[in-house]
Structure 1
Amino acid sequence: MKTESQHIELKSSFNDEVIITLVAFANAEGGTVYVGVDDNGLAISNFKIGKESVQQWTNEIKNKTIPAIIPDVTVEEINGVQVLVFAIQEFPIKPVAFKGRYYKRVKNANYQMNLQEISDLHLKTFNSSWDYYPSPHYGLGSIDLDKVNRFIESSNENRETQIQDDPLTVLRKFEMLKENGQIANACHLLFSKNEVFDATISIGRFSTETSIKDSVVLRTDLFTEVEETLAFVRKHISKNYIITGDPKREERWEYPLEALREIVVNMIVHRDYQNAGDSIIKIFDHKIEFYNPGGLGNGITFDELRAGTYTSYARNRKIADLFREVGIIEKYGSGIKRITNAFVNYGLTAPTFEAFQNGFRVTVYTNGTDINDGGVSVGVSVGVNVGVNVGVNELFILIEKNPGINVLEMKDHFDVTQRTIERWVKQLKDNHKIEFKGAPKTGGYWIV
């Protein structure tokens, strides 16, 4: 029995919806449309294939799509009834349109693409990205060549073969400076001598959701933004010293700094710079929110992002290349996993990744841990809290794998008292990570 999926669509008859689905498949990974089949995957007994039907419908598909697509058409028998099968491969030149509208396939449904998605898919087809193209507003006179020299110095620290060229030659070799003297969009974002309003990041330290204690607005080049953003974040999170017995005290920040750096770098490298909105970072007592305008791009869903089943794609390939050149990023595609593992290994709740107000938000948490200043008691406190938070995280994973599990069942998985389990459950509930469903005696806990 056939069922609809990312690559299969069922239609009872031939109509425009069949062509829309073929267009969506052509703009994605290809797929198959079964015509003469109901939603349950059963052949429709009164569906008939006329002598001219196949040729007529194939021509209709060709005439209503740009670039014209011609699917493979075969006849298949289901439960003794003949149905038509239209198969289309991923089209090499994208996006394909139906009557001037563009569609993409997401799971088992077709969605009309917006202008940004159309542009991104077109650039991807030609193995390019927006930041590679000439800037329509800025020229070479807006570029700070001293910044280019600093880029060369940083790059040489990571290279076996040293860059010996002058700044303008380097810009040309990295495709930042075009043959006609125009600069690429990436060149403006990375080396501008003036404020870069396209790259605005607003950062605030909040005591409540509406009360702000400190703030800064950054409009620098992207290299500088990474360091200034992290400096402001470090200024407003706690640092702890743990007495270990060694002459030198061990530092422990409220959050794993390398993971925060990874978030900030991803935020800057993968931002949609054609979107007029600002990137926003909000620092609260027990969490930090990182927001970027624009969606994920490349048709990636949040489920795929969380599961790590997506194909890596750099929205701004030239920016990513230059960040990698100076060692700020090492490789594409493993950032989300590294960030999550860093927080879990630090004894904290895994970050959340979500769609938010036409953009993308990452939220990291301290799990309510209070970190004070200095002293032996601080080391003891942090050690205890880390152990608790590891248990909380393991409990969260257990509930995620066993939805509906109750406290008594949880206890079988841990060598701790029931009271400890109940305390962990309360912490997860207070953080809105889990919820109780069902009757008090027979219900259990589920991930929110």
Structure 2
Amino acid sequence: MPQESYHMVEAQNIQDFLQMRESETVEFKEKWEDNSGLKALSAFANTRGGLLLVGVTDDHQLGRWKVSDRELEQIVGKIHDVLRIHPQEIQRITASEESEILLIKMPVAPIPMPFLGRYYRRVGNSSREILPSDLGNFLLERLGTSWDSLIGEYKTDIDDNAIETFVKLARNRLPSISTTEETRNMLEKLRLIVDGKLTRAAVFLFTINPQLYFPNTQVRIGRFKDAVTMVDDKIVDGNLWQQVDSVMKQLMQYIQVRYEIPKEIQKTAGLATVQRREIWDYPIDGLREAVMNALVHRDYMSMENIHIRVFDDRVVITNPGGLPEGLTIEDLKKDEHPSVPRNPLLAQVVYYANLIEKWGTGITRLRTAFRDQGLLEPEFEASSTRFAITLHKGLFQEKRILEVELTEQQKKVIVFVKENGKITNKDYRQITGQSDESARVTFKDLMEKGVLKNYGKGRSSHYKLNEVGD
């Protein structure tokens, strides 16, 4: 590792430093203070490295600060003793008789670098402490690994049924796979056994009782009448394949299905000879996609379980862990967006099983499934510790609504009226972000289609669903 160098530099390039802007890799300090200086250097080391300029104010002016030889030696010594890392470069720059700049260039640390027992990283132009909920993933990321690829001495039996399920599902993408292949060989080829030891992905995918080691690998699913009234509650455990099957069966018990015979068939065939078509409240493929997304991409460093709440009008699936760095809610709304798997080994095996796709297409397929059934697109919410998908039920069950084409904005209007009883022009602007003119056109169109009816005038004007017989 390069040793630091510190020396006197004339003021010819002072303006170059003063014109810099604070960022993820640059920070100014008017004077050296041990805690703030060492914290910034620790954050640089834990992110992408960076440059600390001591003697420069936040408004890009020279401070009235100078460092003596003794003070400089003490600063360098504290960096070594506290952070246990050598700066890549140290320069002492003479700006005037009253001002100096101390330039400290920090490399990326080979391992996570704490300061006073806490870990920091750069976020924009500030140094922020890494929250306990994020620390595990940060350490794994810096060590170049992930939760699912960690190995251990797991004394548990392989589930033959899980192996058989995987082999059947994976034949399209792994044509050479066979149930006659020795299980250990198969798992080694899939990188689920490393150095003779099971990975955590192997435990969750292919053992009889993964909750013995990882009790957080459960799904809690409940039926709610409202936000506080639960009428049923189930805990789903087992390996991943069992959970997918059990969760889908439970969801299909909670939601409703209706049957439809296509009109063109009704005209040409007796009803007794016609196969009825099932139409569920939610597209089953879309539900399965959302469940798979939660199981594969959740944060397994968190001790929280996946929660699925089924209400009269919606399903909310919440899993631990926010979106991966670099991915946003707006990205998810695009047909093409980055794929950033939090659990790459788990995702690879499930991909082979033909249950998910690569290249970030899962959310796109989920959105398409709901659009194709004439429903509102799923809503996404994310924080640093959780990610939630809200799936709206087919609220438009009335025959007069089912038979008309609705825009996405019109669907939002009907959902709002269903949930609140009425809607005003102001409500419309708030939920759609559109103008008064857009509200007028939308309400006019929905009234002409027989969906809404206007009540009141002026400021008291509002719209309700047009009841049958009105």
- TM-score (norm. length: structure 1): 0.73
| C-alpha distance after superposition, 1:319-367 (max 9, x if no partner) | 21211111112215454555456556745154131339x533332334x
Partner in structure 2 of residue 434 of structure 1: none
Q: CA deviation at 1:221?
A: 0.8
**Equivalent residues in 2 for 1:389-400, closer than 5 Å:** 389-391=408-410
Q: Does the CA contact (< 8 Å) of 1:206 and 1:212 recur in 2? A: yes
Relative distance call for 1:56 and 1:107 in structure 2 (3 A) is same
Q: Does the CA contact (< 8 Å) of 1:302 and 1:353 recur in 2? A: no
Number of aligned residues:
403
Partner in structure 2 of residue 436 of structure 1: none
Structure 1 counterpart of 2:395, one-letter code: T
Structure 1 counterpart of 2:182, one-letter code: D
Which of 38, 41, 44 in structure 1 is aligned with 2:57? 38
Partner in structure 2 of residue 173 of structure 1: 189
Partner in structure 2 of residue 148 of structure 1: 163
Unaligned runs of 5+ in 1: 428-439, 441-448
Which of 390, 399, 407 in structure 1 is aligned with 2:436? 407
CA RMSD of aligned residues (A): 4.2
Deviates more, 1:330-339 or 1:229-238: 330-339
Partner in structure 2 of residue 192 of structure 1: 207
Which of 357, 371, 396 in structure 1 is aligned with 2:397? 371
Q: CA deviation at 1:387?
A: 0.4
**Equivalent residues in 2 for 1:231-242, closer than 5 Å:** 231-240=249-258
Q: Does the CA contact (< 8 Å) of 2:223 and 2:310 recur in 1? A: yes
SS at match of 1:296: coil
Deviates more, 1:215-224 or 1:68-77: 68-77
- The reply on whether 1:348 has 2:376 as its aligned counterpart is yes
Relative distance call for 1:279 and 1:261 in structure 2 (3 A) is same
Q: CA deviation at 1:218?
A: 0.7
Relative distance call for 1:98 and 1:333 in structure 2 (3 A) is farther
Mapped to 2, the partners of 1:23 and 1:45 lie a distance apart of: 23
Q: Does the CA contact (< 8 Å) of 1:26 and 1:89 recur in 2? A: yes
Partner in structure 1 of residue 322 of structure 2: 296
Mapped to 2, the partners of 1:334 and 1:85 lie a distance apart of: 46
Mapped to 2, the partners of 1:333 and 1:269 lie a distance apart of: 13
| C-alpha distance after superposition, 1:205-238 (max 9, x if no partner) | 2122233333322112112212321232233334
Structure 1 counterpart of 2:244, one-letter code: V
Mapped to 1, the partners of 2:246 and 2:304 lie a distance apart of: 20
Which of 155, 177, 193 in structure 2 is aligned with 1:139? 155
Partner in structure 1 of residue 46 of structure 2: 27
**Equivalent residues in 2 for 1:36-435, closer than 5 Å:** 36-39=55-58, 41-48=59-66, 57-66=75-84, 68-73=85-90, 83-91=101-109, 93-114=110-131, 117-136=134-153, 138-140=154-156, 142-163=157-178, 165-180=181-196, 182-194=197-209, 196=211, 197-240=215-258, 245-247=263-265, 252-293=279-320, 295-296=321-322, 299=325, 312-331=339-358, 333-336=360-363, 339-340=366-367, 343=370, 346-355=374-383, 359-366=386-393, 369-371=395-397, 377=399, 380-384=400-404, 387-391=406-410, 406-408=435-437, 410=438, 416=441, 419=444
Mapped to 2, the partners of 1:342 and 1:11 lie a distance apart of: 53
Q: Does the CA contact (< 8 Å) of 1:9 and 1:32 recur in 2? A: yes
SS at match of 1:205: strand
Mapped to 2, the partners of 1:244 and 1:75 lie a distance apart of: 82
SS at match of 2:36: helix
SS at match of 1:231: helix
| C-alpha distance after superposition, 1:382-406 (max 9, x if no partner) | 243x50445456999x979996x64
Partner in structure 2 of residue 444 of structure 1: none
Q: Does the CA contact (< 8 Å) of 2:381 and 2:389 recur in 1? A: yes
Mapped to 2, the partners of 1:145 and 1:127 lie a distance apart of: 32
Relative distance call for 1:97 and 1:365 in structure 2 (3 A) is same
Relative distance call for 1:195 and 1:85 in structure 2 (3 A) is closer
- What is the aligned-residue identity percentage? 23
Q: CA deviation at 1:240?
A: 5.0
Q: Does the CA contact (< 8 Å) of 1:288 and 1:363 recur in 2? A: yes
Mapped to 2, the partners of 1:240 and 1:76 lie a distance apart of: 78
SS at match of 2:222: strand
Unaligned runs of 5+ in 2: 1-18, 266-274, 414-424, 453-458, 460-470
Q: CA deviation at 1:85?
A: 4.3
Structure 1 counterpart of 2:185, one-letter code: T
Partner in structure 2 of residue 445 of structure 1: none
Q: CA deviation at 1:284?
A: 0.7
Mapped to 1, the partners of 2:23 and 2:357 lie a distance apart of: 35
Structure 1 counterpart of 2:401, one-letter code: S
Mapped to 2, the partners of 1:167 and 1:232 lie a distance apart of: 31
Q: CA deviation at 1:127?
A: 3.1
Mapped to 2, the partners of 1:107 and 1:200 lie a distance apart of: 36
| C-alpha distance after superposition, 1:156-192 (max 9, x if no partner) | 2322444462212212322333444x42222221122
Mapped to 2, the partners of 1:263 and 1:75 lie a distance apart of: 56
Relative distance call for 1:62 and 1:302 in structure 2 (3 A) is farther
SS at match of 2:198: coil
Relative distance call for 1:49 and 1:256 in structure 2 (3 A) is farther
Q: Does the CA contact (< 8 Å) of 1:407 and 1:422 recur in 2? A: no
Q: CA deviation at 1:133?
A: 2.4
Mapped to 1, the partners of 2:337 and 2:83 lie a distance apart of: 28
SS at match of 1:183: strand
Relative distance call for 1:24 and 1:364 in structure 2 (3 A) is farther
Relative distance call for 1:116 and 1:170 in structure 2 (3 A) is farther
| C-alpha distance after superposition, 1:239-261 (max 9, x if no partner) | 45566644377665433444432
Mapped to 2, the partners of 1:344 and 1:399 lie a distance apart of: 23
